[in-house]
Amino acid sequence: MRPWHYGVAFGALLAVLLGAMGWVSWTAVRLDRAQVDAAEKSAFEENVRLALWRMETVATPILIRESARPYFVYSSFYPAERAYNRMFQELPHQDVLVPSPLLKEPTPQVLLHFQIGPDGTMTSPEAAEGPMRTLAVRAYDNEASLDQASARLAQLRGKLNRARLLAELPAVPESPVLVDPAVVADAASSTELRSPVATLALPAANALPAAANAPRQPMRQQAAAQQSLQIAQQVEREQQDRSEYEYNVRNVQRFEGQQRVNPRLNAPLDSSWRSSPEGKKTATPDVVKTKPATAPPVRPVVEGMMTALWVDGALVLARCVRVNGGEYVQGCWLNWPEIKVDLLRRVGDLLADADLAPATGGAGERGARLLAGLPVRLIAAQPVFPARSSLSPVQYSLAVAGCGALLALVAVGALLLGAVSLGERRGAFVSAVTHELRTPLTTFRMYSEMLVEGMVTDEEKRKRYLQTLCAEGNRLSHLVENVLSFARLERGRYRGHREVLTARTVFERVRERLAQRAGQAGMTLVVEDNAESLDVAFGADMGAVEQVLFNLVDNAAKYAARAADKRIELRALAGGGTVRLRVRDHGPGVEADELRRLFRPFHKSAKHAAESAPGVGLGLALSRRLARQMGGDLVVCPEIHDGACFELRLPLTRLHERLANGNAGR
């Protein structure tokens, strides 16, 4: 496979892996966001549920209180069933009027109580009229309240319509006629009311449930209505027990009075029981049954369920009441603005932007948040929570996993690139070494055969051939030495002998070998003498320094052999805590595009080696590694543009470093 094949395969695998990681991350983030949204929505719905419960605790008592009111309190004054003077003598009950509690005690959340009779006349216990108004003003001194109630009554008359109310209220069944009207005829005459709801015989003991024909309502509203109905029925049962007890006592007293007036009266007696208000039954004298021929039929009172309605923007509680065949509408006008403020105040800590709106029962209100007792729906938009500034645990885990995966991919890519590059370098090295070995081996073979066979008889040619063989041998030896040194460095087995040297000592030891190599290329080695820099001591491996300098001079001899100026300059410079051994030629220099790969090992291919100077591209790479192994470096001199110039920089010893710093301070 070619190198680009590896790149394409790695790119395809990388794309698949990144796509899978992206899809998994997106799915995980989406699920995490959905979970957070569900938790926020659940918390919001819990606040809504708690807010509805709080508002129900305010609205339900109002509904229960109004539902429990007796039907006869909707008159400003009504006659008492029994009354006594200070001598404990019974007074004619028709002459005793009792003020309605609605007149004496105004209800906070109610603007006005009203009653609409069978003839459509609307009255209010708070807005007494005629003689009752005079009595109310005289007894309670609330003329201002009566005027305000009268104004509200006039306003309410323009809003309410009896026929419309009856159509919207639950139907109330016709009350049945009592089985024996003659028995309760006298009680009916004694408890008859002189009011718009007159001709009461008994309390609603036999009343049928008013919710039987009521329309279907939400479950919470049905529960509240059922609770209200139970309370109203309990009140009715207590009133029934009290009325039955008073009725029996009154009949016994009348029978005893008749016996005192006419002792000869001896009518048939019945054995009966009377019930005390506490529910205990005690034996009573037999009561004479008299059946007047003119006793009218009596029907019990049937009270419907109190229902909340919106009528022309007004919130009213209304119910239907049947009294002796007459159908009345009773109820109250609620102070909705005040109730609304109170309800919203109680849920302000749960729903800051909540609002209440009338519920008319339209199709658009399906699933709305409705109150059970009042036709009101809660309007509350789910708040927009601010974006989280920190990462969630899932996002943090995905970020860490993604970074780890990317690092792994980068490492794999770098490893693959290094492996491919190493393979290419090895291939280039093999081809270059093959090319480099072929030339000297060919020369060796040809010259040696000529010398062995005696084909060269001239001593001068023989000597020249022998010198050529010696040069090619040195060349092969230098090539093998570089390869072996580089292999030792690659395996970490290089062990140099570090010693204290000076530039003068180094130049004296390598001058002859370097001059010989320069002379083979027809060039001259020039060593510049500078007493101050030549005597500066530094620590290095002499063998490594010699090998680096020879590689630099060998490159100069290869690439600058055709230059007009055939000098190879070798000089030493000191400064900045280092000694710089500089090798310079006056040839074509180093091209700019070659600088970035100049120190790469085996960067020459066979074609490049054949077209350029001989070599395998290992000398500079080996020289830089040897320099860095000694604590220094090998660089190209940036300020030299005429030819090629390389500097071997080595650190000074501690003593000379202190001396150099002291001289610089002076």
> pLDDT tens across 61-76, in order?
999 999 999 988 898 8
Does residue 261 sit in the same domain as residue 117? yes
Does residue 175 sit in the same domain as residue 314? yes
Asked if the model's pLDDT at residue 293 lies above 50, the reply is no
Give the pLDDT confidence score for residue 405 in this predicted structure: 86
End residue of a domain, out of 315, 334, 353: 334
- Over the stretch 183-195, which tens digit does the pLDDT of each residue have? 444 444 443 333 3
Does residue 431 sit in the same domain as residue 309? no
- The three state secondary structure string of 280-315 is CEEECCCCECCCCCCCCCCCCCEECCCEEEEECCEE
Give the pLDDT confidence score for residue 154 in this predicted structure: 93
> Taking the model in full, what pTM does it have?
0.49
Q: Return d(Cα 597, Cα 587) in angstroms, integer.
A: 20
Instruction: Identify whether 31 is part of a domain.
Output: no
Instruction: Identify whether 363 is part of a domain.
Output: no
Does residue 496 sit in the same domain as residue 606? yes
What is the pLDDT of the chain when averaged over all its residues? 75
Asked if the model's pLDDT at residue 240 lies above 50, the reply is yes
Asked if the model's pLDDT at residue 239 lies above 80, the reply is no
Give the pLDDT confidence score for residue 318 in this predicted structure: 94
Instruction: Identify whether 45 is part of a domain.
Output: no
Q: Return d(Cα 548, Cα 569) in angstroms, integer.
A: 15
Asked if the model's pLDDT at residue 310 lies above 80, the reply is yes
* % of the chain beyond a pLDDT of 90: 17
327: exposed, middle or buried (Cβ count in 10 Å: 0-12, 13-18, 19+): middle
Instruction: Identify whether 137 is part of a domain.
Output: yes
Give the pLDDT confidence score for residue 273 in this predicted structure: 34
Instruction: Identify whether 458 is part of a domain.
Output: yes
Give the pLDDT confidence score for residue 263 in this predicted structure: 42
DSSP string, 379-419: E-PPP-PPPPSS--HHHHHHHHHHHHHHHHHHHHHHHHHHH
Instruction: Identify whether 21 is part of a domain.
Output: no
Strands (E), 103-248: 110-116, 122-123
End residue of a domain, out of 334, 357, 383: 334
**631 Cβ partners below 8 Å, 6+ apart?**
539, 650, 651
Ranked by mean pLDDT, which of 175-184, 198-207, 268-277, 349-358 comes out on top? Answer: 349-358
Does residue 229 sit in the same domain as residue 329? yes
Lowest average pLDDT, out of 349-363, 416-430, 521-535, goes to: 416-430
Where is pLDDT greater, at 83 or 638? Answer: 638
Q: What is the CATH number of the domain that holds 510?
A: 3.30.565.10
Asked if the model's pLDDT at residue 336 lies above 90, the reply is yes
Q: Return d(Cα 344, Cα 396) in angstroms, integer.
A: 41
> Contact at 8 Å (CB) between 109 and 339?
yes
Q: Tell me what the mean pLDDT of segment 254-270 comes to.
A: 41
- The total of structural domains in the chain comes to 2
- At residue 330 the predicted structure's pLDDT band, cuts being 50, 70 and 90, is very high
Give the pLDDT confidence score for residue 307 in this predicted structure: 92
- At residue 665 the predicted structure's pLDDT band, cuts being 50, 70 and 90, is very low
366: exposed, middle or buried (Cβ count in 10 Å: 0-12, 13-18, 19+): exposed
Q: Tell me what the mean pLDDT of segment 231-235 comes to.
A: 59
Does residue 303 sit in the same domain as residue 426? no
Instruction: Identify whether 569 is part of a domain.
Output: yes
Asked if the model's pLDDT at residue 425 lies above 80, the reply is no
DSSP string, 606-654: HHHHHHSSS--S-HHHHHHHHHHHTT-EEEE-TT--SS-EEEEEEEBPH
Does residue 209 sit in the same domain as residue 91? yes
End residue of a domain, out of 302, 334, 366: 334
Instruction: Identify whether 642 is part of a domain.
Output: yes
Strands (E), 94-219: 97-99, 110-116, 122-123
- At residue 398 the predicted structure's pLDDT band, cuts being 50, 70 and 90, is confident
Does residue 491 sit in the same domain as residue 626? yes
Asked if the model's pLDDT at residue 608 lies above 70, the reply is no
Does residue 321 sit in the same domain as residue 421? no
Ranked by mean pLDDT, which of 329-338, 450-459, 586-595 comes out on top? Answer: 329-338
- The three state secondary structure string of 13-75 is HHHHHHHHHHHHHHHHHHHHHHHHHHHHHHHHHHHHHHHHHHHHHHHHHHHHHHHCCCHHHHC
Report the run of H or E that residue 374 belongs to, with start and end: none
Where is pLDDT greater, at 226 or 624? Answer: 624
HSE-CB for 141 with a 13 A CA cutoff = 0
Asked if the model's pLDDT at residue 366 lies above 80, the reply is no
> Contact at 8 Å (CB) between 654 and 560?
no
Does residue 311 sit in the same domain as residue 445? no
Q: Tell me what the mean pLDDT of segment 473-482 comes to.
A: 77
Where is pLDDT greater, at 292 or 95? Answer: 95
Does residue 286 sit in the same domain as residue 167? yes
Does residue 165 sit in the same domain as residue 266? yes
> Contact at 8 Å (CB) between 331 and 114?
yes
- At residue 77 the predicted structure's pLDDT band, cuts being 50, 70 and 90, is confident
Where is pLDDT greater, at 396 or 384? Answer: 396
State the pairing for strand pair 281-283/302-303. Answer: unpaired
DSSP, collapsed to helix, strand or coil, labels residue 118 as coil
Give the pLDDT confidence score for residue 333 in this predicted structure: 94
Which residues pair with residue 648 across a beta bridge?
A: 581, 634
Asked if the model's pLDDT at residue 385 lies above 80, the reply is no
Give the pLDDT confidence score for residue 183 in this predicted structure: 43
- Over the stretch 130-147, which tens digit does the pLDDT of each residue have? 888 888 887 665 788 888
> Contact at 8 Å (CB) between 113 and 332?
yes
Give the pLDDT confidence score for residue 301 in this predicted structure: 82
Asked if the model's pLDDT at residue 265 lies above 60, the reply is no
Give the pLDDT confidence score for residue 612 in this predicted structure: 53
Q: Tell me what the mean pLDDT of segment 148-152 comes to.
A: 91
Give the pLDDT confidence score for residue 329 in this predicted structure: 94
* 278-304 residues labelled b (16+ CB within 10 A) or e (exposed): eeeeeebeebbeeeeeebeebbbbbbb
- At residue 47 the predicted structure's pLDDT band, cuts being 50, 70 and 90, is very high
- At residue 531 the predicted structure's pLDDT band, cuts being 50, 70 and 90, is low
Structural domain that includes position 452 = 409-665
| Rounded alpha-carbon distances, angstroms, from residue 28 to 23, 42, 391, 401, 409 | 8, 21, 13, 12, 21
Q: Tell me what the mean pLDDT of segment 648-662 comes to.
A: 65
Q: Return d(Cα 345, Cα 338) in angstroms, integer.
A: 11
Give the pLDDT confidence score for residue 601 in this predicted structure: 73
